[in-house]
Amino acid sequence: MTGAGYGGLFVTAFLAATLLPLSSEAVLAALAAAAGFDLYALVAVATAGNTLGALVNWLLGRFCLRWRNRRWFPVDAARLGAASDWFRRYGVWSLLLAWVPVIGDPLTFVAGFLGIRLAYFLPLVALGKAARYAVIAGLAQALFG
């Protein structure tokens, strides 16, 4: 049964990092508070899923921007402009904030749009997301576990 928990966390974390409005924090907190789950494994699974989801955003920004004026395109012009301004102001280090709601997904999209190399993108995004998940998992286990 724990395998389903880890798998569900991975899928939720992956989808939450794309431009879909989902939250993986509640799933992580529930599993961290439940018996039978390794805290480090939970953080690793959530980080991997969320980082791979952010990579989807990077790929969309890198290769799909030609469709940005289509109604179905996942980022509107205002969010794209705000994220681009933020990224130009703070540079590649802003990717450490890819976990922040509202700005994180557009930041990862803009990183692809601006051609940020994966050698910078992946470690910075993963580090920020891992830190966030470690805090959430630790707090959940301390408070409810």
pLDDT at residue 1, as a whole number? 55
C-alpha 126/C-alpha 142 separation (Å) is 24
pLDDT at residue 145, as a whole number? 66
Left (φ > 0), alpha (ψ -120 to 50) or beta: where does 22 sit? beta
pLDDT at residue 120, as a whole number? 96
Q: Which candidate, 97, 76, 75, places its Cα nearest to that of 86?
A: 97
Q: Which residues of the chain carry a pLDDT beneath 50?
A: none
pLDDT at residue 29, as a whole number? 93
